[in-house]
Amino acid sequence: MKEALQQILDEARKRLQEAECIQDAEDVRVKMLGKKGQLTGILKSMGSLTPEERKELGMQANKAKGEIEAMLNKTFEQLKEKAQEAKFKAEKIDVTEPGKAHKLGTKHPVTITIEEISKVFKSMGFTLTEGPEVETVYNNFDALNAGPNHPARDWTDTFYINDDVLLRTQTSPVQVRTLKAQKPPIRVFAPGRCFRCDTPDATHSPMFHQVEGLVVDEGITMADLKGVLDSFAKQMFGEETRTKFRPHHFPFTEPSAEMDVSCFKCGGKGCRVCKGSGWIEILGCGMVHPSVLKVGGIDTEKYTGFAFGMGVERVAMLKYGIDDIRLLYENDMRFIEQFK
C-alpha cells in the first residue's frame, strides 16, 4: 500500500505538470481524490489492517492527500491565469482599425406632434392624463350622450370586442373617467390612440391619435374655451395665427363648435393646403353637456366646463406638409429621417 501511495503521488504530479486546461486538472482531482478515486480506495481498504498498520498508513495517506491538494491548488491557479491571459489576448482591441458608424434614430412625426401639443397645454396649467384603449361601451358612447341609435355605434364604424367592450373610437372616454375620479377644479388633457373601422386612404386610418382636453370649474364660459384654444393655436402655429369658431353638433357638448385656424402656409390668402379658403379646420370643441357632467356626479348648478379634441395626425400633416396619412405608418426610414 505504501508503494501504491507513492505511485498515486507520482502519477498526480506528472499529470498536473502536463495539464493544459482547468478541465485536465479537474480530471486528476476526480481520479485521485474523488468518491471513487485511487486514494479514496486505499483509505477504504485500511479496515483489514492492524491498528498499528492503520495508524502508520493513515498518516502517509493523509500526507499524500495533502501534497496532491497543494499541487492541485497551485495548478488550478496557474491554469486560471493562463486562461485569463488567453482571453485578454483574444479580446485585444486594435485601436488603429476604423470605427463603426452608429446611425442615430429620430422621433416619429406623430410623437413630435404629441410632445409639441403637450408642451403647450402644460404651459397653461393642464395636467396630462390617460385612459385605456380597450374601453366600455358605456364610457365610449352612453356616458357621452351618444344614444343606442347613434350612427357611430354601428359595427361598421366601431371595433367591438363583445357587446359591452370595444376599442375606443375617441379619447373622450377619458373625460368620463376623469369626471368620476376627480372633483372640480379640473384641467386635464389626454393624448392617446383611437380606433375606427376606416379603410386606409390618404386621409383615413383604422388607427389614429387624438388629444382630448377638459376643464371644469365655477364660472367657466365659452369665452374661456375660445381664449385657451386661441392661445394654443398661436403657440402651435405662430403668433400671427388667427382662429375662427363655427357652430357644430357633438352629443357630449352644448353648444358645440369647430375651430379653424388661418392657413399657416399662405397666411390666409388662399392656397392648395387650405383649398383657397384661407382657413383650415383643426379641432372640435364645446361646453360640456350637463348630462355628461352628471355622470361624474358634478353639480351642474355650480360648475360648468368645456372640452375639445383634435386629431394628432391632422395637425402633423398640416404642420409638416404631409399629403398622405399612410406615410406615417409605413415606417419608411427615408420618410421618418426627414424629421431629425
Asked which of 111-120, 289-298, 329-338 is least confident by mean pLDDT, the reply is 329-338
Q: pLDDT per residue over 227-242, tens digit each?
A: 999 999 999 988 988 9
Q: pLDDT per residue over 52-73, tens digit each?
A: 776 777 777 777 778 878 888 8
3-state secondary structure of 322: coil
User: Does residue 185 have a pLDDT over 80?
Assistant: yes
Q: Which residues contact 4 (CB under 8 A, 6 or more apart)?
A: 38, 42
Q: pLDDT per residue over 253-262, tens digit each?
A: 999 999 999 8
Is-contact 10 16, C-beta < 8 A? Answer: no
Model pTM above 0.85? no
Q: How would you classify the pairing of strands 186-195 and 127-128?
A: parallel
User: Does residue 32 have a pLDDT over 90?
Assistant: no
Q: Which residues contact 105 (CB under 8 A, 6 or more apart)?
A: none
pLDDT of residue 1: 63
Q: Which CATH superfamily is domain 109-339 in?
A: Bira Bifunctional Protein; Domain 2 (3.30.930.10)
Output 19 or 188, whichever has higher pLDDT.
188
Helices (H), 109-172: 109-123, 137-140
- Residue range 147-171: mean pLDDT, rounded: 93
The DSSP secondary structure of 39-90, one letter per residue, reads: HHHHHHGGGGS-HHHHHHHHHHHHHHHHHHHHHHHHHHHHHHHHHHHHHHHH
Residue 145: left if φ>0, alpha if ψ -120 to 50, beta else—which one?
A: left
- Residue range 195-202: mean pLDDT, rounded: 90
Is-contact 39 62, C-beta < 8 A? Answer: no
- Residue range 127-136: mean pLDDT, rounded: 96
**What does the domain layout of the chain look like in residue ranges?**
2-90, 109-339
pLDDT of residue 46: 67
pLDDT of residue 2: 67
The length of the chain is 340
pLDDT of residue 291: 94
pLDDT of residue 269: 78
Choose among 127, 157, 125, 126: nearest CA to 141. 157
C-alpha dihedral sign at 254, 148, 191, 310: negative
